[in-house]
Every structure is written in C-alpha cells, then in structure tokens.
Amino acid sequence: MSAPTIRTRHTAAAADAVERARDAATRESWTEAYELLHAHERHPSRGLTADDLSVLADAAWWSGHLDESVTARLRAHAAFLAADDHRGAGLASWWLHYEYAGLGRPAAAAGWLHRARHHLADLPDCPEQSFLAWTDAEEAEAHGDHAAALAAVHRMTGLALASGSPDLLALSRQAESRVLLAAGRRAEGLARLDDAMCAVTAGELSGMFTGWLYCLALTQCMEAADFARAVEWTNAAMEWCAPPWTGRPPPDGPDAPDGPASARDPGSASLPMTVPSGENPFRGVCRAHRVEVLDLLGAWALAEAEARQACREVPVDCLESAAAAYYAAGDVQRRQGRLDAAAVSYGHAHELGRIPQPGLALLRLAQGRADAAVAGVELALACRGAPDHDVLGRARLLAARTEVALAVRDVTGAAGAAAELDALAGDGAGAVPLLRALADTAVGSVALARKGSDALLPLRRALAGWLELRVPYEAAQVRMLLAAADRAAGDEEGARLELGAARAAFERLGAVPDARRAAALLTGGSRRRLPGGLTAREAEVLRLVAEGGTNKDIARALVISEHTVARHLNNIFAKLGVGSRASATAYAYAHGLV
C-alpha cells in the first residue's frame, strides 16, 4: 500500500473521530467526547478547529480535567482570533474569565473579562453579549446599585429573547431574581426564580445551564431562608445529578477523608481534582446544599454521610461547597455531643475559607468556654455587617448571639440581638417562616430570662413555626424553654408534657446531651448523676452563681458562711476546669443545672 493511501486513511479516521466527538457533545456524552478528542490530540493528523477546541474545553471540564479545559479554551480563543471571529473569541474570553475566577485567580479573570468586553462591545446585538450583561448585573449589585443591576438584567433578557435560547432566558430570570431579592422585593424575586426553575425541572435546558441554575437557585433559597423551596429543589437537583445506573460503589471507598484537600496536602488546592469518568461535576455542589437541608430536617446520620461524600465529589473550583459540608457536619456532631469531632470539622471548614460561626461559638459554650463563645459570635457579626443577600446567615448569628448572651447573664445584649432578629424576620404576610421561628425563639428566650409572663406567647408561636417547617431539633429546644415557662407559671403538668416530647425528639435525633438534660429535668434532678463530678451542694452553689448571686447572697440563701461559699467555688472551678463565674455560669446552662 502506498504512503499517500495510508495517510489518506489515517486522515479519514481522524476526521471520523472528530465527527464522533462532535456527535457525543451534541448528546452531552462528555466523557466520550473528551476521550475521542484527547486521543486525537495525542496523534493529530489535522488541527482542531476553534469550535472543536471549545468542545474539548467543555468535555474536559465535565470530565474533571480543569487544567486541560483552560488550556483548550485558551487555544480556542487564539483560533477564533486568527479567524477574525470576535463573537467566538468574546465568548471564549468570558468563559476563561469565569473559569479563572472559580480557580481563585482574580487577576487572570479580570484580564479575560476585559478581553471579552473588547471583543463584543462594538458588535451588533448577539447572544454572547448576554454573558457580559450577566456580569454587569453582578458587579452593580456588589456595589449596591440595584437600578444599574436591574437595567443590566433587562438588557440580558432582551438579548436572550432575541436569541431564542432557553438557556440564556432562564439564566436572565435567575439574575433578575437575585437583583430583586437584594433590593428587598422578595415576592417578585421568588416569582422570577420559580419561572427560571420551571425550565430547569422541565428538562428544557442544556446540562451546563441545568447544573448552573440548580447551584445558583439553591444558594439563593438558603440565603433567603426559603426552606420549602430549598427542600424541593435540592431533591430535584440530586435526582438530576444521579447517575443513570445503580449499585456503583463510591469512587473513593466508604470512609471519609481525613480533611479537605488543602489540609491533607498544602499544595493540593492548586492541583486539578479529577472527577471519575461519567460523574456529574455538579453533584458534589448540589450534595453540599442537600447536607444543609438534611441537617435542618433532622436526618443527621444521612447528613453526615452526605457531607463526607460531598467533600469527595466537589471540583477544585467549588471548594466553598466542601467548606459548607464540613461546617454542616460540625453542627451535627456538636449537637450529638461529639465535641472533639465537631472541632475537627469546623477546623476543616475554616481551612477552606469559611468562618465557622456561629457553630464554633456554640461549641465553645458547650465546652464551658463562654468568653470564647461571646468573642467568636460578636466578631462574626461585625465581619458580616448588614444582611445583604445572606439573610439566613445573619439570622443564625443573631440567634446564637442571643443564646450566648443569656448564658453569661447578659440579658441586655441578648435582647438587642433578639430585637434585630425580630425586625429581620418580618410580620404578617411579609414574614419569612424560618426567620420568624428563629426570632420567636429568641424573643421568648429573653422574656423567660427576664422572668416575665410574656414568654409563653412567642415560644408557642416558635414551636408552631418549627413544627410546620418540620425542623425537629429546634422544635425540641423550644419545648425545653416552654417547660421552664410553664413551671414558672405553675403549670407542672404542662412542663412535664413538653419535657417528655422534647426528650423523645432528642433521642430520635441522637442529640445525646439534650436528651440527658430533658431526662434530668423530668426527674427533677433528685436522682441523677451530676455533671463534672459535682456534689449536690456544689450544684446548688453553682445554680445560685448562675442566677447572679454574690458570695454573700449565696451564703444567706444556704445558711452557710461566705468562707464556705468561696471553698465550694474553688472546688467547682477545679472540677469544671473553668476560671471565672461567667464560665461556670455557661457550664451550668449548657448542662441543664439551671
């Protein structure tokens, strides 16, 4: 056979491989497209076109080869530019901006965004300009210019409608939702988000935009404290992410990693994280959102298992999702009484860039380190500033601030935090159910600390709210407060009913410390083993300290000398490993002694 004939057959085979890769990309069979083009790249008989290089970039991204994705897109940009195709070059530039931003390279991202503007700015209206309008809306929103953000969104919507692209239209609806929510127009914002998600759940969009919109929408729902939507769309997202087969074992085995990639290898965060062939790179991100939802629903064992899996699955450009999963796992472990494990999980979240508050502050409170708890939650509130988009994040900090302040007898500070939370939650038709339940819990706690008769109403509202939301742990916590309020009002039977319900809920959840506290309160504390090795007299002294009594007050109440009170306090501090009355008070509240 002659050499020209061999070369002709090789050329035909290569062309066929490229055609099959294009067909695979059309079917969104990304692993197949990647393998075909990757093999072609190793033994090229002809160069890939700019469009083929764009397909290679997309296929590499879906297959978890982020470094190859960027390299292929750089080559695609050069090829578009050589062909004087500014629309193609502009789109490649925008995607490079987006990928570099995700990889934590803001300077490179800014440079490619500038190039995208340069390529597309003077062209007639075209679909590629929609991405620039989306970025313009994000930047205006970041500066608090809602009018400019809305104008950019409206331009994007016009471009999307003109293009006839369902992908771009759904993305424009999501962007409009984000801007409206940031401007405080909650009902309109959620209506726009529902519009965008109809296209997602109906399967009208490409895989890239489906995954992208699930991620954006789930983040919006949690930040806006719309728990019902978060539950619905998290389930839908995980169903979409699921592989079309069953019975495949996890790619990395059943055990959790020792920590995030950056913790196991300080340099690994800059390396590509490979997703096993056939895996959906959005799965880990969606699973991290699912962990938050499962945590609130009380499915703690599943939440922790999903958190471990999410940390294995998230791509390297989405490590904030792994941080969120570690944080949620820490919350579960803390409430189960696994304080050392919780500290490790919060530490991993911190390594990945998340401030682990308010969970860490509540952990310190459970450890009797009240000063650290106060400092941690106050610093987190100061850093977060105004609620901006993450309303739920600030609400949780305010709820924790109320709890921590009450533990150290700072009723004034607790009242201030509860009042801000109450205003944030809204009232009537404008109330946000999850925030309203948090606020009623905080307001009722403060009223109970003030020994007022007005604690029952907000606490009963809070219980009804948590039960309606199907959030069992917080509902059980409110029952504990209601039991104290009932006892203060002389309703011992009502108190016992609340304590019994709370104990049953804590036991079902696996919230061991809370279950023990409820059981101890049910028996009146007469036959239980006291925590920390305290004697009955030491526990009595500690209760009076926690109620704000001085040594003189305690001596008078117990008919003992002040010297004896001081001796008891020394023994209490030594047994509990605390060094101040405030820390001892925090310990008393954390262990149900008050």
pLDDT tens for each residue of 91-122: 999 999 999 998 889 999 999 999 999 999 98
- The Cα 345–Cα 53 span in angstroms is 41
Give the model's confidence band at 386: pLDDT under 50 very low, under 70 low, under 90 confident, else very high: low
Give the model's confidence band at 519: pLDDT under 50 very low, under 70 low, under 90 confident, else very high: confident
Residue 79 near residue 53 (C-beta atoms within 8 A)? yes
Proportion of the chain above pLDDT 70, given as a percent: 88
Give the model's confidence band at 89: pLDDT under 50 very low, under 70 low, under 90 confident, else very high: very high
- The Cα 483–Cα 490 span in angstroms is 10
Token duo for residue 148: 């400019």
Mean pLDDT of the 339-348 span: 94
Which stretch of 29-43, 279-293, 374-388 has the lowest confidence by average pLDDT?
374-388
Give the model's confidence band at 259: pLDDT under 50 very low, under 70 low, under 90 confident, else very high: very low
pLDDT digits (tens, 9 = 90+) for 463-505: 999 999 999 999 999 999 999 999 888 888 889 999 999 999 9
For residue 1, pLDDT over 70 is answered with no
For residue 525, pLDDT over 80 is answered with no
Token duo for residue 109: 């991202």
pLDDT digits (tens, 9 = 90+) for 12-56: 555 688 889 899 888 888 889 998 988 887 776 667 899 999 999
- C-alpha distances (whole Å) from 26 to each of 92, 261, 584 are 18, 34, 66
Contacts of 583 (CB under 8 A, 6+ apart): 368, 369, 370, 371, 576
| Residue located via tokens 């106060």 | 374
Alpha-helical segments (H) within 336-432: 339-351, 359-366, 370-384, 391-407, 411-425
Mean pLDDT of the 216-223 span: 90
Torsion angle of C-alpha atoms 213, 218, 221, 226, degrees rounded to 10? 130
Residue 221 near residue 196 (C-beta atoms within 8 A)? no
pLDDT of residue 388: 57
- The Cα 228–Cα 194 span in angstroms is 12
For residue 416, pLDDT over 60 is answered with yes
Residue 471 near residue 296 (C-beta atoms within 8 A)? yes
Mean pLDDT: which of 43-47, 248-252, 265-269, 438-442 is highest?
438-442
DSSP string, 272-285: --PPPTT--TTHHH
Give the model's confidence band at 548: pLDDT under 50 very low, under 70 low, under 90 confident, else very high: confident
Residue 318 near residue 261 (C-beta atoms within 8 A)? no
* Local structure of residue 526 (DSSP, 8 states): S
For residue 527, pLDDT over 90 is answered with no
pLDDT digits (tens, 9 = 90+) for 296-305: 999 999 999 9
- The Cα 51–Cα 92 span in angstroms is 10
- The Cα 174–Cα 5 span in angstroms is 55
pLDDT of residue 97: 96
pLDDT of residue 7: 44
pLDDT of residue 280: 84
- C-alpha distances (whole Å) from 376 to each of 363, 403, 410, 441, 518 are 11, 13, 16, 21, 28
pLDDT of residue 270: 30
- The Cα 366–Cα 141 span in angstroms is 39
Tell me how far the alpha carbon of residue 120 is from its chain's centroid.
35
Contacts of 157 (CB under 8 A, 6+ apart): 169, 172, 173, 176
- C-alpha distances (whole Å) from 437 to each of 393, 418, 421, 491 are 15, 12, 10, 24
- The Cα 364–Cα 343 span in angstroms is 9
Mean pLDDT of the 137-146 span: 90
Proportion of the chain above pLDDT 90, given as a percent: 53
pLDDT of residue 148: 95
Residue 57 near residue 22 (C-beta atoms within 8 A)? no
CB neighbourhood size of 316 (10 A): 22
For residue 397, pLDDT over 60 is answered with yes
* Residue-averaged pLDDT of the chain: 85
pLDDT of residue 318: 84
Mean pLDDT of the 402-416 span: 93
- The Cα 201–Cα 432 span in angstroms is 25
Residue 242 near residue 309 (C-beta atoms within 8 A)? no
pTM greater than 0.95 (yes/no): no
Cis bond upstream, residue 358 (ω within 30): yes
Query: Under the phi-then-psi rule, with left for phi > 0, alpha for psi from -120 to 50, and beta for the rest, what region is 278?
Result: left
Which amino acid, residue 140?
A
pLDDT of residue 39: 84
Contacts of 132 (CB under 8 A, 6+ apart): 94, 116, 117, 120
Residue 316 near residue 261 (C-beta atoms within 8 A)? yes
